[in-house]
């Protein structure tokens, strides 16, 4: 595999808890490595033996479709032994603590743990309980680093250098771990980030993190190179009516519609999924040529392969 770094750079991270812990060089290095893995996915037999001596547990305490399948596929494409833990069918239901669960799993000689949990900080806590490399697959509203990496990788396919590129993130900001990881990652690589949504969804941290705020969708879409819509997370905010009057009104004010694609012909559309069709995006927009949403999903496997490879000790392939 080609060395993607500068002369004096070496990747020496042990975990991926969040992009806050990764430098600009680390992020660009992961994205560069992911290119080689993306090529492997296009081969007739998209398999390599890089992780054949590794055992990985996927520890999911929260629902997931894309992230979980994507991690599992990445692990299997690289020949790892994979075990899956789902909180809903485990001894967690019998009252076992997270620490006991992870120490028991770890006694089975696990090399890496991929963890999704509803509480922020759980991946960090796991680093104190076991020796394995820990990969955060989403912790509450804190970080979702592999999602932001795959988003950046997809943006790079459109704009190879993200320096100065204009990224709009639109939607349910206050509940989103995706937005936090994206602001951190994108600003580190020099992109400009505007966050757009209703005032009730706009947390204070946005400006402190180096992004700008807009409450005007038209203005935002006329400015951006990429528009990333985020799901309205009804399950995290209780009754939707507490934060905005109705889904229909949200769609009227902040939903991306075909008329916007016609008016502003350049920006691409992204969404981490799952999409509420007719809310964040008009259904035709999600299916249009301008959307790169399924590319994000394919790229997610490559990016996760790159992260697994680097955190496994980076045996050359
Ligand atoms: C996101 C998540 O779970 O944080 N989805 C994902 O990982 N693809 C966003 C969401 O749930 O809306």
Which residues, in sequence order, are bridge partners of residue 192? Answer: 166
Q: Which of 141, 107, 146 is nearest to 15 (CA)?
A: 146
Q: Which two tokens stand for residue 296?
A: 């994000």
66 in catalytic set:
yes
Instruction: State how far the Cα of 175 lies from the Cα of 142, in Å rounded to an integer.
Output: 9
Question: How confident is the model at residue 105, as a pLDDT?
Answer: 84
Identify which of 272, 280, 293, 295 to mutate to test ligand 1's pocket (most ligand atoms within 8 A of the CB).
Answer: 272
**Which pair of structure tokens corresponds to residue 26?**
């680390």
Options 15, 54, 77, 144, the catalytic residue: 144
Distance 273 CA to ligand 1 centre (A): 6
**Ligand 1 centroid from CA 102, angstroms:** 24
Q: What single string gives the DSSP state of each residue in 157-211?
A: HHSS--TT-EEEEES--TT-HHHHHHHHHHHHTT-EEEEES-GGG--THHHHTT-
d(CA 140, CA 62): 9
Q: What are phi and psi of 86, to 5 degrees?
A: -125, 125
Angle between helices 145-158 and 66-77 (to 10 degrees): 80
Looking at residue 6, what is its pLDDT?
A: 57
**DSSP state at residue 102:** H
pLDDT by residue for the chain (317 residues), tens only, comes to 444 455 689 999 999 999 999 999 999 999 999 999 999 999 999 999 999 999 999 999 998 989 999 999 999 999 999 999 887 766 776 778 888 988 888 888 899 999 999 999 999 999 999 999 999 999 999 999 999 999 999 999 999 999 999 999 999 998 899 999 999 999 999 999 999 999 988 998 899 999 999 999 999 999 999 999 999 987 666 554 567 778 999 999 999 999 999 999 999 999 999 999 999 999 999 999 999 999 999 999 999 999 999 999 854 44
pTM for the full predicted model: 0.94
Query: CA nearest 21: which of 185, 240, 221, 261?
Result: 185
58 DSSP β-pair partners: 84, 114
Cβ(302)–Cβ(41) under 8 Å?
A: yes
Residue with tokens 């743990």: 113
* Nearest one of 193, 230, 228, 66 to 137, comparing CA atoms: 66
The Cα 28–Cα 22 span in angstroms is 10
116 is catalytic: yes
Could you identify the residue written with the tokens 């808890």? Answer: 17
Annotation marks residue 67 as catalytic: yes
Token couple for 203? 């947390």
Query: Which atom belonging to ligand 1 lies closest to the Cα atom of 233?
Result: 12
**For residue 177, which atom of ligand 1 is closest to its CA?**
4
Domains of the chain by start residue, with CATH: 19-144+298-311 (3.40.50.1370), 145-293 (3.40.50.1370)
Strand, coil or helix: 225 = coil
Q: Which residues line ligand 1 (CB under 6 A)?
A: 66-67, 138, 144, 147, 177-178, 231, 233, 272-273
Beta bridge partner(s), residue 56: 82, 112
Residue 274 CA to residue 227 CA, distance in Å, equals: 16
Q: Which ligand 1 atom is nearest residue 137's CA?
A: 7
Q: Which atom of ligand 1 is nearest to the CA of 66?
A: 8
Query: DSSP 3-state assignment of 124?
Result: helix
Using CA atoms, how far apart are residues 139 and 18, in angstroms rounded to an integer?
10
Q: Who contacts 248 (Cβ-Cβ below 8 Å, separation ≥6)?
A: none
- Per the CB < 8 A criterion, the answer to whether 223 and 195 are in contact is no
């Amino acid at each position: 595999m080609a060395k993607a770094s500068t002369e004096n750079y070496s990747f020496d991270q042990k975990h991926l808890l969040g992009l806050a812990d990764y430098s600009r060089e680390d992020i660009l290095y992961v994205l560069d490595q992911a290119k080689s893995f993306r090529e492997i996915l296009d081969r007739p037999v998209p398999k390599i033996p890089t992780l054949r001596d590794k055992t990985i547990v996927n520890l999911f305490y929260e629902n997931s479709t894309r992230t979980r399948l994507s991690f599992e596929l990445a692990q299997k494409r690289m020949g790892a032994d994979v075990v899956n833990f789902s909180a809903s069918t485990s001894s967690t239901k019998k009252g076992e603590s997270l620490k006991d669960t992870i120490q028991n799993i770890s006694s089975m000689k696990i090399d890496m743990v991929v963890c999704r949990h509803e509480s922020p900080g759980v991946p960090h806590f796991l680093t104190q309980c076991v020796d394995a490399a820990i990969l955060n697959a989403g912790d509450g509203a804190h970080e979702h680093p592999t999602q932001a990496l795959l988003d950046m990788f997809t943006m790079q396919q459109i704009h190879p250098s993200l320096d100065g590129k204009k990224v709009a993130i639109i939607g349910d900001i206050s509940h989103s771990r995706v937005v936090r990881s994206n602001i951190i990652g994108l600003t580190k690589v020099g992109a400009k980030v505007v966050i757009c949504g209703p005032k009730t969804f706009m947390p204070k941290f946005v400006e402190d993190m180096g992004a700008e705020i807009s409450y005007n969708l038209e203005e935002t879409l006329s400015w951006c190179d990429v528009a990333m819509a985020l799901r309205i997370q009804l399950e995290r905010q209780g009754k939707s009516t507490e934060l905005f009057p109705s889904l229909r009104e949200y769609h009227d004010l902040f939903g991306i519609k075909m008329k916007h694609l016609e008016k502003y012909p350049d920006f691409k559309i992204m969404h981490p999924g799952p999409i509420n069709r007719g809310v964040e995006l008009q259904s035709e927009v999600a299916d249009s040529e301008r959307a790169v949403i399924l590319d994000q999903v394919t790229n997610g496997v490559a990016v996760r392969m790159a992260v697994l490879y680097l955190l496994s000790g980076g045996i050359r392939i």
